[in-house]
Amino acid sequence: MAKKLESTLTNMILSLVLISMSMSAALGFVYLKTKGPIEIAAQKKETDAIKQVLPEFDSDPAEGKKERDGVVIYRLNLQDQPVGFAVKTFTDKGFGGHVELMAGFLPDGSISKVTVLSHKETPGLGTKMSDPKFSNQFLGKNPAEFILKVRKDGGQVDAITAATVSSRAYCDALQRAYITLEAVKDSISVNQ
């Protein structure tokens, strides 16, 4: 019969260290196995969002990519002619905090389309920023002439009823996208 291990502080610490090492190794293994598929899924989600906000293109988004201050800009072409820019932008001014958008800008600077990538806004209120009734008011507007603020703040955007904070956040993210795009668009090239 095996001798029972004495319950001492040293034995308890040794047991906890061995258990912790085993669990760390298991978590590391799971992380390594899932890291690749998670990255592929995230890249596919981003590529799909780019396709939603711009007309058809044949260039690789990764080739015309530039990042500045957390905003990612993709320049896209069709048969070596510019189609526009897809801009992954964000704000931390949402009612629930962080909001991410993908905005499409045509070569003339007007907004092609905007899609919400992620948010934690109030269900039923802030989530309405994805509704066409709200998002369609930006289509074809050029932020150089269209004031990206809600009417309460002196802008031209009709806020979502009972979700002014979410509407402001959406406008803030779009304004960040436009300002960043204007600052870097001439330095982005696409090599086909």
Q: What is the pLDDT of residues 88-98, one digit of tens each?
A: 999 999 888 89
Q: In Å, how far are 96, 117, 162 from 92, measured between CA atoms? A: 9, 14, 19
Strand partners, 76: 84
Domain assignment of residue 14, yes or no: no
Domain assignment of residue 8, yes or no: no
Domain assignment of residue 46, yes or no: no
Domain assignment of residue 167, yes or no: yes
Domain assignment of residue 2, yes or no: no
Amino acid at residue number 67: E
Domain that holds residue 121: 52-187
pTM of the model: 0.79
Domain assignment of residue 16, yes or no: no
How many beta carbons lie within 10 A of that of residue 190, not counting itself? 18
Q: pLDDT tens, 17-52? A: 999 999 999 999 999 999 988 888 888 888 899 999
Domain assignment of residue 157, yes or no: yes
- 53 contacts 112 by C-beta, under 8 angstroms: yes
- Please state the domain count of the chain: 1
- 102 contacts 61 by C-beta, under 8 angstroms: no
Domain assignment of residue 144, yes or no: yes
By three-state DSSP, how is residue 55 classified?
Answer: coil
**156, pLDDT greater than 60:** yes
